[in-house]
Amino acid sequence: TLAEEPGSVLVDIRPAAQRAAEGEIPEAVVVERNVLEWRFDPTSDARLPIATGDDLQVIVICSEGYTSSLAADALRQLGLWRATDVIGGYHAWAAAGLPTRGGA
């Protein structure tokens, strides 16, 4: 899966209530949108341990693909040149039969 590719991470930016209602992606790292830049900026004291450089491929996913496009652009502006998102978001992911769990 995407999360198993070396040098890449799938990041779910949906709020907790939305993940609970829609379901989750088992291997995704959950980082809500309001702290995304802090967690992936390699120069930030609040960065995640995996955020070690600009070549990390961060694949952002939201509910429908709109917020994730803006979030990926914000990460690219920080210098994470490989940041991208999932077109259609979680809804497209689930519709394609990719791994999910939970949901209402």
Q: Which residue is it, tokens 């960065």?
A: 47
| 102 in a structural domain | no
Counts of helices then strands in the chain (DSSP H, E): 4, 4
Residue 4 has pLDDT above 60, yes or no: no
Structural domain of residue 83, as residue ranges?
Answer: 8-93
| 3 in a structural domain | no
Q: Judge residue 11's burial from the number of C-beta atoms within 10 Å of its C-beta, 0-12 exposed, 13-18 middle, 19 or more buried.
A: buried
pTM, two decimals, is 0.92
CA 9 from centroid of its chain's CA atoms: 7
Using alpha carbons, select from 25, 44, 41 the residue that is nearest to residue 96: 25
| 98 in a structural domain | no
Q: Could you give the number of structural domains in the chain?
A: 1
| 36 in a structural domain | yes
Q: How much is the pLDDT for 33?
A: 96
Distance CA(104)–CA(94), nearest Å, equals 13
| 2 in a structural domain | no
Mean pLDDT of 28-52: 95
3-state helix, strand, coil in the chain (%, to 5): 35, 15, 50
| 103 in a structural domain | no
Residue 26 has pLDDT above 90, yes or no: yes
CATH number at residue 39: 3.40.250.10
Give residue-wise pLDDT tens across range 48-86: 999 989 999 999 999 999 999 999 999 999 999 999 999
